[in-house]
Amino acid sequence: MVSKIDGMEEPLVITSDMLIQMPTKGNEVKSLKETFEKNMSTTPLFILIIILLNLISYIFEISTGALTNLPAMLQAGALSHDLVLQGEYWRLVSAGFLHANKSHLVGNLSVLYILGMATEHAFGIKKTILIYFFALVAGSLCSVAMGTQTGVGASGAVFGLMGALCVYFRKNRHRFNIRDGNIGIFIAIVAIIQILFGFTNPHIDNYAHIGGCLGGAIIALLLSYSTSMDHRQLPQTSRYLKIITLLSLFTLSIVWLAINGHVYLVIAELSDSYYHSSAAIQYSTRSVKINPNNTNAYIVRGKAYFFIKQYANAINDLQLYLATNPNSVIGYQTLGGIYDYQKNRELAIKCFSDGISVSPQPNLYNSRGYNRILMGDYKLSREDFQSAIKLDKNYAPAYGNLGLLDAIDGSYESAIKQLEKSYELDRSLKIITDLIAALKAEKNGNYQSAINFYQSFINKTKNLQQWEAENQFAMKHLDLLKKKGAFNCK
């Protein structure tokens, strides 16, 4: 038997009247704060359908060549200020399902999934559909109103989800614990930073972001939240229905893409990208057989033929492609590149000129000008390089080619300045530093050093066709210096 120790209290029996009562409002005990993520589904049905539609659209863009030039992108459904004003209002929605490249697509869809999960959890699927499309149209209208010429991407709708969630958390801040209640503030900060950053990048359609964000916020203000967060577990039948719906949509999409030859064409594109030329030729040929309207297969197959040096087949495919796509800049650029490789300067210049007539671009002017240098037409080539710089003041190759022309004219100081500018803009052009050093040495009368640098440059460029004109210049000056017999000069 344990004896009682003096000074120590005996154990107490706890009764309800001894407990501290929670603050009350009237006669009702206030409930504990909610956790927003409780029972949140990781498979938001509507958002996953939207993601699937965007992926299908991107496959369609690849297979139709919409990613290769502006006219093709407009034909696919890109947002255009002028075309919308002419009555093509469907572009306000279609542009939201198109993307400019892989990083654009992945970035938008990643954020869409995260925000979409939260939005469907907060508002429910029906209201999320309303928010998404209202924000998408609002963003497109804002873009058109501010005069943006051409745009694609789901970011307007994504910003709409941001705006809607900010309103939701603001209006329901009393329901959640401190951490979850601050989610809206975090989303608002991210949205503001992204919009501010958008003003620094001319390639971002920031007005679509602003319009979408405001559209999502406005529609969220008008919605009630009575059915939003009941925290009930989703019945198993509904879960199975979700899975069946998504799998059915995915299967139907793949079947449709296969029937129209798009699957083979995408495989061909991927094969071509990873230099599997035989596979690219095989799958692009299948694509054309299934659907003769998949003329983009010709350019894919043409590139593959060019890679394995079947030039006649490559040229034939590019000509077939251009016959049905006369406004394709990439078609003229690719065909011009093949003629350039074959040293057929006149046909190369014609192709680059045709591309410029469709859509003036720095690389087309630069390619045409370089071929003109090799033909000895220095005046027109200089005009081409200057035109390239007018379109893009940071286009490094054009500065380098202007430097070459100055060197040919004997204007060494100007040539060195232009070549250094080219290297400053593009550090991958390190090979040009030998030519710069040779010109500086020759200018200062240090002929032995000039000979060494010219020889080094020639050795590095002798098998590189893209440096053919510079190589010819270096060989000519090397011979001139050797004839001077100036080996012992300073």
All residues at 6 or more sequence positions from 1 whose CB lies less than 8 Å from its CB, including other chains: none
CA distance 68 to 303: 14
Alpha carbons within 13 A on the beta-carbon side of 105: 19
CA distance 336 to 344: 9
Q: Decide if 231 is catalytic.
A: no
Residue 392 DSSP symbol: -
Nearest to 271 by CA among 261, 262, 284: 284
CA distance 7 to 202: 80
How many residues are present in the chain?
A: 490
308, 310, 314, 316 alpha-carbon torsion, rounded to 10°: -160
Q: Which phi and psi (to 5°) does residue 28 adopt?
A: -100, 130
Nearest to 295 by CA among 304, 307, 287: 287
Residue 308 DSSP symbol: T
Q: CB–CB of 442/481 below 8 Å?
A: yes
Q: CB–CB of 481/446 below 8 Å?
A: no
Structure tokens at 404: 């070459």
The active-site residue, picked from 209, 277, 328, 387, is 209
Exposed, middle or buried: residue 397 (CB in 10 Å: 0-12, 13-18, 19+)? buried
CA distance 196 to 428: 31
The active-site residue, picked from 57, 155, 328, 422, is 155
Q: Decide if 209 is catalytic.
A: yes
Question: In this structure, is the dihedral angle defined by the CA atoms of residues 60, 63, 64 and 65, taken in order, positive or negative?
Answer: positive
Radius of gyration of the chain (CA): 32
Partnered with residue 80 across adjacent β-strands are 150
CA distance 448 to 234: 83
- State the catalytic residues: 155, 209
